[in-house]
A and B are shown apart, each in its own frame.
Chain A
Amino acid sequence: MCLENFSSQVVERHNKPEIEAQTTKEALLTPVQISRNENEKVLVEPSINSIRISIKIKQADDLERILCATFTRFLMMRAENFVVLRRKAIKGYDISFLITNFHTEQMYKHKLVDFIIQFMEEVDKEISEMKLSINARARIVAESYLQQFS
């Protein structure tokens, strides 16, 4: 994550994250996609002053799909608090981060990387836990109701 300041070459006195503006092709580096399988992948798109990381979270069935969608919506609504989060995910992915050189100047780089890695682990764990708790609740609800008839 070596990012350095880069003023816009297109518009004077502007400083935009090049990966979002995509105006100067020579400022963009090669994107890298790391996939575990069809359903889980991470796309890393670097450029000279910014880097965009998009994650697709594992969603095996309808319930996980809904939980994942709600969860990412919660996070993206609070993107201002999160600073490095993007308000909309890139097409084909569930959530995206945008890290600019300003962020790396203000925050510790290794901690940022830690955060992203921890995020990926926790999201999977949280979604599985929620699915389990819904199934447990459903079982209790059904049992309580049907027990009345016995």
Chain B
Amino acid sequence: MILLEERNRILEETFRERFSRPVEEAERIFLTLHDFDGVSYLVETKESKSIVLFSMSMKCYPELRQYGADNVLVREYGSLFQATPEPGFEVTLRIDEVALAGQDTEELVKKLALLKRNALAAPFEAAFYAQSQGQQTNIMTVNYRDQEAIYVMGFPDRVTVIFSTVFNEEADQIFGRVFLQEFVDARRQPAIQNAPQVLYSAREPPLELRGLRLSDAENIGYVTFVLFPRHFTPGPIREETISRIQLFRDYLHYHIKASKAYMHSRMRARVESFLKVLNRAKPEKPEDQKEKKTIAGKTFKR
């Protein structure tokens, strides 16, 4: 499995299973689960067995609200979106199963699994809209993780997305550099010449972010994606692009860790083979020290 999925499988299956049963058989549910980037969900039945409250806790949501996330969620989930979220959460959707009875719920199930993706889509949609109008936006900052952020900027002719990512270990840093160098060089291949341009800077924030006075510590890297209008033509292409871009940081770190694990298992195998070679250097015990058995079963050393 090389690519990460943007929808949350557990949520999807939970809701699909729940909606496929008739409303009369609805049971209580209290499910907490976590997603990438520190996001957690709670699915519970508080008021009655057939009303499901689906809440998401996402620390950066206030920033996203500035960029129009509420509007995006209202657009996607309509009347399910609650103006005041449950305490401790930033977004709540209220699903009344009685109202859903009889309808085809497959679409809704898929949309619910994309809640995080839809919330995070707000700054991207804002930037794409500005570009289509030929305008420039300010830098939109989303601090979606503790020390890492996404910066989205729309220009008249393109949209730039910059990731700042922290590598906690030196090995991660070096692997990260190798991987990111490949991202930068990948466009040489004829098959992916149309992909967005990727730029990588090891410690220095890129020019667009100079005004923000960001850290340039040893273990920080900045990755810039330059998206041209053909990457976000309205419709399925735009939706796909938004989903893919959001997951970039998790994708990168997932593969760095997978490579480290692979290296370790290779080294372990190699160490074992060395041990075997060394053991060849030990001679067998000479004849006179081997234990021997008589026919009667007694053992003795000669």
A residues neighboring B (CB under 8 Å): 62-63, 66-67, 70-71, 74-75, 78, 81-84, 106-108, 111-112, 114-115, 118-119, 122, 126, 130, 133-135, 137-150
CB of A81 within 8 A of CB of B275, answer yes
Do A107 and B283 contact each other (CB < 8 Å), given the known contacts A138-B179, A140-B2? yes
Contacts of B241 in A (CB 8 A): 149
Q: Which among A75, A106, A122, A141 is the interface contact of B255 at CB below 8 angstroms?
A: A141
The 10 closest A-B pairs by CB, nearest first: A111-B281, A146-B195, A138-B182, A142-B182, A142-B186, A107-B281, A142-B183, A138-B179, A149-B195, A144-B2
Q: Which among A137, A142, A145 is the interface contact of B3 at CB below 8 angstroms?
A: A145
Interface residues on B, range: 35 or more
Q: A141-B182, A144-B3 known; 14 other A-B pairs, CB under 8 Å? A: A62-B177, A63-B174, A71-B270, A78-B271, A83-B278, A115-B278, A119-B274, A119-B277, A122-B274, A130-B266, A137-B259, A146-B195, A147-B192, A150-B195
Least CB distance, B282 to chain A, in whole angstroms:
5
CA of A82 to CA of B186 in the docked complex: distance in angstroms? 43
Interface check B68, CB cutoff 8 A: no
Do A134 and B178 contact each other (CB < 8 Å), given the known contacts A144-B2, A145-B248, A149-B194? yes
Contacts of A145 in B (CB 8 A): 3, 183, 244, 248, 251
CB of A75 within 8 A of CB of B271, answer yes
CA of A145 to CA of B251 in the docked complex: distance in angstroms? 9
Q: List 22 A-B contacts (CB under 8 A).
A: A67-B263, A71-B270, A78-B275, A81-B275, A107-B282, A112-B281, A114-B277, A126-B267, A126-B270, A137-B255, A137-B262, A138-B181, A138-B182, A139-B186, A145-B248, A146-B187, A146-B196, A148-B240, A149-B196, A149-B241, A150-B194, A150-B195
Least CB distance, A105 to chain B, in whole angstroms:
11
Q: Determine chain B's interface SS by DSSP, over half rule.
A: helix
CA of A63 to CA of B181 in the docked complex: distance in angstroms? 13
Least CB distance, B101 to chain A, in whole angstroms:
38
CA of A122 to CA of B270 in the docked complex: distance in angstroms? 9
Q: Determine chain A's interface SS by DSSP, over half rule.
A: helix
Least CB distance, B157 to chain A, in whole angstroms:
18
CA of A135 to CA of B186 in the docked complex: distance in angstroms? 12
Contacts of A150 in B (CB 8 A): 191-192, 194-195
Q: Which among A74, A83, A108 is the interface contact of B271 at CB below 8 angstroms?
A: A74
Interface check B171, CB cutoff 8 A: yes
Contacts of A148 in B (CB 8 A): 3, 240, 244
Contacts of A106 in B (CB 8 A): 282
Least CB distance, A142 to chain B, in whole angstroms:
4
Least CB distance, A112 to chain B, in whole angstroms:
5
Contacts of B278 in A (CB 8 A): 82-84, 115
CB of B2 within 8 A of CB of A108, answer no
Interface check B17, CB cutoff 8 A: no
Contacts of B187 in A (CB 8 A): 146
Least CB distance, B51 to chain A, in whole angstroms:
38
Nearest A residue to B195 via CB reads: A146
CA of A67 to CA of B192 in the docked complex: distance in angstroms? 31
CB of B231 within 8 A of CB of A149, answer yes
Contacts of B277 in A (CB 8 A): 114-115, 118-119
Nearest A residue to B247 via CB reads: A145
